[in-house]
Amino acid sequence: MKLDFTSNHKLLFGTAFLVFFILSYLIAIQPASEAKKQVKPLIESNPMTKQQLQGFQVYIGEGCAYCHTQQVRPLVMDEGFGRPSVPGDYASQKPLNWWMQTPNVLGSERIGPDLSNVGARRNNEVWNYIHLYQPRSVVPNSAMPAYHWLFEKKNDLKLNETALPVPVKFRKGYNYIIPTQKAKDLVAYILYLQQPALSNAEVINENARYKRTTVRNNFIDGINVYQSQCAACHGANGKAVESLFPSLKDSMPLSKKTIDQKMQVILNGITDAKNPIRNMPAYRQLLSDEEIAAVVNYMEKAWNQKNGRIISAEEIRTLRMQKK
Amino acid sequence: MNETKNISINVSSINDHPLVIEHDATLTTEHCDKSSTRLILTYLFASSIWLIVGTLIGQMAAIKLVFPDFASESWMSFGRIRPVHTNSVFWGWTSLAMIGLAYYVIPSSSNTKIYSNKIGWISFFLINISVIAGNLMLMWGISNGSQEYREFVWPVMIIFMLGIALTAYNFYQTIAHRNVKEIYISNWFIMAACIWTLTFMIISYLPFYQIGLGETIIQGYYMHMAVGMWFMSFTLGIIYFMLPKLLNRPIYSYSLGILAFWTQLLFYTMIGMHHFIFSPVPWWLQTIAIVFSIGMIIPVSASTANFAFTLKGNKRKIKYSSGLPFILTGVIFYFVASFQGSLSALRFSNLVWHFTDFTIAHSHMTMYGIVTFFLWGSIYGLVPNLTGRQPRTLWVELHFWFALTGLLIYAVALMWGGTERGLIWLNGLPFIQSVSIMIPYWLWRVIGGGLMLTAHFIFAWNLYEMIFKSKRQNP
């Protein structure tokens, strides 16, 4: 039989369909089924609680993933966002209900930073509320929308309500700003976003998958570490916006602390259940010895010249070993 | 008596802009009876409204990046309206305009009447209902997830798919009842685009294998099938008909068209994963996508050469036509932007440009520079023949120049800014710095977008004049 595509429409369109379907099967359906079968959730990971799941729904509905990726690439420039993402990180993603599909969190654009590990980096829930309510009240150059509809704005407070310490000029004339249930759920989800550590087997599996390009940056600039990790709370120039969080420049309480005490705080963070606005991440998991040394030296040099001692990475390494 | 008549003609032609010669019209409309003409014009007019809605929303989103606290209602927030913009211009403007034009191209090239006008009307309503419902839900905060162009939940998208299925059936029956032996190459592209689209949409909305990274693999596939197998294939089909018709000469090479068709199918289907380079999806899938992205140079070159040689030596005709300058621009963008797309897939390019606005510039150079310009050219070429009224030359030129200038400003600003952004990340500088430096470029984007939006109002007005004032002049 002669294959006459130009005058046999059944043959032409039948072939076009068949070829397309076979290719689609090979390039999409088969790898997707394979990914579903092979990948298990990471050993160290926890399933989302009901509240975190509801927060995830808010995250999807508000379209957060258009500007925030959740995929850390195995590249030097992505190091600040966490360890490289692995298939297991996404293994538990499934449809939220019967009329929706599995949401995509990997994203395709980074107008804002990657959020894979944001719960570890920004573990202060009060900061998260204020930042959601009006990002520019803590990060002046932020381009993020102000999610004020996730908050109640009112002039009188009920007995069991706690208002957020939003700076007056961002309150739009109201006395009190209170997070709604949706805001609480969303923040619960944001704090949930912490990359679980990989088990040994998982690390080996990962290394087999591709050649890593991850090499720690040799040259670490303290100001870059400060601006990326610390400025969101303590202010770009060491002066916290509206004094919500401690200023590092010209601050009385801080000037009494020794450099060793400061290094301890940076390494181990602050956990204060009664007064959550004081919470600070433990940077031992987030930064290398070199980075911590660089940022300490930067801060000391910029705002507190009394000490004059240069901290080395070895010193941080010793401190890290000493105490948890 | 004769003299007064002459004067009055002169006066009216002065009103219609005397400096430019009236545009020509060469298309035959014997295959369009009154009711199918009405169907085509309805599709086209509705599409122009979606274009305005879609760009108004897009402009709003662009403004919000520069002034984040502008119009800060929840249903107008960036995260909710960004998908409204993309879905409106995709499923509203582009899809309706393409289908409307195909209702002319398919019967004309098959030398028969359309199989059923009624099916055309039903699918028109289905598509519009789904886009309206989907957009309202997005503004309400109900989204499938931020998977691009797949934000409508399936109960909404199934209405759209039904519309496409009916359209496909209608086209297939028309082609099956053709009164010529051979199926013209346009119909290869258009009919196949409908079949491919139904296939990839069903594959991408079935949930069984979309757990965890399985979803991401399908998303990469879906996103690129939507642009490549629906919009690009369909518009190429339209241009393979409209370009030779408007020039009144045959297409340069039929075989090149066939080569383009098969290579489009073989290569384009494989490139979806190039949106997830360096992501945790299997490395070999990413590599395949890169290899075939480079392979795309073959179908792109084949069609570009075909169009370019068909256009060659017809400077005069291009100059005196309202549609051809748009198509010529589309051909240039087809080559440039597709080539850019192939190169952007490389791992090296991803180091600098992935996740930056460079990608947004690229998507506008393709969906706007190629597809939208092709559609405008075809609409200006076709509609005067259906209604008997030419658009005003000056206004067509204004439309053209506003759109082209706007697009160039938009694309150059975002490519430049995106590059700077990528370099900031590569150099390990603080993230917020990569936000601050974008502000001037985002402002240029608003300016470019404003010009594009103006062009769309002019286009809608031109279309309105061509359709509704048809009685003022004889064909």
Residue A138 CB partners (closer than 8 Å, separation 6+): A127, A130, A131, A232, A233, A241, A244
The amino acid at B179? N
Of residues B359, B360, B431, nearest to A228 (C-beta): B431
Residues B351 and B402 sit within 8 Å (Cβ to Cβ): no
The nearest CA of chain B is from the CA of A196 a distance in Å of: 15
Nearest CB to A209; choose among B221, B276, B283: B283
Using CA coordinates, name the residue in chain B closest to A87. B280
The kind and range of the H/E element at A176 are strand A176-179
CA–CA separation, A20 and B262 (whole Å): 10
Check A19 against B266: CB less than 8 A apart.
yes
Determine contact: B102 vs chain A, CB below 8 A: no
The Cα–Cα gap between B276 and A70 comes to 12
For A219-274, write each residue's pLDDT tens digit. Answer: 678 888 898 888 888 888 888 877 788 888 877 777 777 888 888 889 989 888 88
Give the number of other Cβ atoms within 10 Å of residue A61's Cβ. 22
Q: State how far the Cα of B282 lies from the Cα of B420, in Å rounded to an integer.
A: 29
> CA torsion angle for B274, B277, B281, B284 (degrees, to 10)?
70
Residue A1: count other Cβ atoms within 10 Å of its Cβ: 5
Calculated CA dihedral for residues B349, B355, B358, B361, nearest 10 degrees: 130
- Which residues, including other chains, have CB under 8 Å from residue B144's CB and lie 6 or more apart? A100, A101, A103, B150, B151, B152, B153, B154
Which chain A residues have a beta carbon less than 8 Å from that of B432?
139, 141-142, 227, 231, 236
Q: How far is B63 from chain A (nearest CA, A)?
A: 11
Interchain CB distance below 8 Å, B183 and A29: no
Say if residues B123 and B196 touch (Cβ distance below 8 Å).
no
Inter-residue contact A40 to A88 (CB < 8 Å): yes
Query: Residues 216 to 255 of B: which have CB under 8 A from any A CB?
Result: 216-219, 221, 225, 229
Q: Quick one: closest CA in B to A110, which residue?
A: B355
A308 or B454, which is more confident: B454
Least Cα separation, residue B181 to chain A (angstroms): 6
| A21, closest residue in chain B (CA to CA) | B199
Which residue type sits at A205? N
Q: Return the higher-pLDDT residue of A277 and B26.
A: A277
CA gap B84, B97 in Å, rounded:
18
Q: Per-residue pLDDT for chain B (475 aa), expressed as one digit of tens each?
A: 344 444 333 333 434 444 444 455 567 888 888 899 999 999 999 999 999 999 999 999 999 999 999 999 999 999 999 999 999 999 999 999 999 999 999 999 999 999 999 999 999 999 999 999 999 999 999 999 888 999 999 999 999 999 999 999 999 999 999 999 999 999 999 999 999 999 999 999 999 999 999 999 999 999 999 999 999 999 999 999 999 999 988 999 999 999 999 999 999 999 999 999 999 999 899 999 999 999 999 999 999 999 999 999 988 888 888 999 999 999 999 999 999 999 999 999 999 999 999 999 999 999 999 999 999 999 999 999 999 888 999 999 999 999 999 999 999 999 999 999 999 999 889 999 999 999 999 999 999 999 999 999 999 999 999 998 855 444 4
Q: What are the residues facing B14 on neighbouring strands?
A: none
Q: How far is A169 from chain B (nearest CA, A)?
A: 14
The secondary element (H helix, E strand) that includes residue A177 is strand A176-179
Contact B355, A69 (CB under 8 A): yes
DSSP letters along A131-166, please? HHH-GGGT-TT--PPP-GGGEEEESS--TT------
Alpha carbon distance A115, A111 (integer Å): 12
The structure tokens 């990180």 sit at A89
**Residue A235 CB contacts under 8 Å (≥ 6 apart), including other chains:** A241, A245, A247, A248
How many whole angstroms separate alpha carbon B24 and alpha carbon B18? 15
Contact B79 A209 (CB under 8 A): no
Name the residue of chain A whose CA is nearest to B285's CA. Answer: A27
Coil, helix or strand at residue B212 = coil
Q: B residues 121-160 near A, CB within 8 Å? A: 141-148, 150, 153-155
Q: Exposure string (b/e) for B216-234, b if CB count within 10 Å is 16 or more?
A: bbbbbbbbbbbbbbbbbbb
Partner residue opposite B435 with nearest CB, options A94, A99, A143: A143
Q: Tokens for B374?
A: 């092709």
From CA B425, how far away is CA A245, in angstroms rounded? 28
- pLDDT at res. B23: 53
CB-based contacts of B441, cutoff 8 Å, min separation 6: B357, B413, B414, B416, B417, B420
Tokens of B357: 């606005």
* Chain A / chain B CB contacts < 8 angstroms: 269
Residues of chain A with Cβ-Cβ distance to B436 below 8 Å are 141
The answer to whether B453 and B59 have CB atoms below 8 angstroms apart is: yes
* Minimal C-alpha gap between A260 and chain B (Å): 26
Task: Find chain B residues with C-beta within 8 A of A7's C-beta.
Answer: 181-183
Question: ipTM of this model?
Answer: 0.92
Is residue B181 within 8 angstroms of chain A, CB to CB? yes
- CB atoms near residue A158 (< 10 Å): 8
Tell me if A7 and B182 make a contact (CB, 8 A cut-off): yes
Q: In this structure, are strands A151-154 and A176-179 parallel, antiparallel, or unpaired?
A: antiparallel
Identify whether the C-beta of residue A70 lies closer than 8 Å to the C-beta of residue A85.
yes
DSSP letter assigned to residue A25:
I
| A167 closest CA partner among A243, A266, A81 | A243
pLDDT at A276: 84
Q: Classify each residue of A21-45 as buried b or exposed e, where b means 16 or more C-beta atoms within 10 Å of its C-beta.
A: bebbeebbbebbbebbeebebbeeb
Q: Which two tokens stand for residue B3?
A: 């003299």
- Determine the Cα–Cα distance for residues B303 and B321; give it in Å rounded to an integer: 22
Contact B78 A74 (CB under 8 A): no
Stated length of chain B:
475
Q: Classify the phi-psi angles of A107: left when phi > 0, otherwise alpha if psi is within -120 to 50, otherwise beta.
A: left
Judge: A104–B172 Cβ closer than 8 Å, yes or no: no
Look at residue A308 in the predicted model and tell me its pLDDT. 66
Query: Which of A10, A11, A13 to probe the B interface (max B CBs under 10 A)?
Result: A13
* Chain A CB within 8 Å of residue B436 CB: yes
Q: Six-digit token pair at A49?
A: 């609680």
Residues 13-72 of chain B whose Cβ lies under 8 A from any Cβ of chain A: 64-65, 68-69, 72
Residue A189, H or E segment: helix A181-192
Of B136, B135, B130, B171, which Cα lies nearest the Cα of B154? B130
Q: B244-268 in b/e burial notation, b at 16+ Cβ within 10 A?
A: bbbbeeebbeeebbebbbbbbbbbb
Closest partner residue to A103 (CB to CB) among B69, B144, B281 is: B144
A179 SS3 class = strand
* B266 at interface of A, judged by CB pairs closer than 8 A: yes
Q: Cβ separation of B199 and A23 shorter than 8 Å?
A: no
d(CA B75, nearest CA chain A) in Å: 9
Based on its alpha-carbon atoms, the radius of gyration of chain B, rounded to whole angstroms, reads 22
Round to whole Å and give the CA distance between B332 and B311. Answer: 12
Distances (CA, A) of B288 to A101, B126, B345: 26, 37, 11
Q: Which helix (H) or strand (E) holds A178?
A: strand A176-179
Angle at A43 between CA A103 and CA B279, to 5 degrees: 45
pLDDT over threshold 70, residue A190: yes
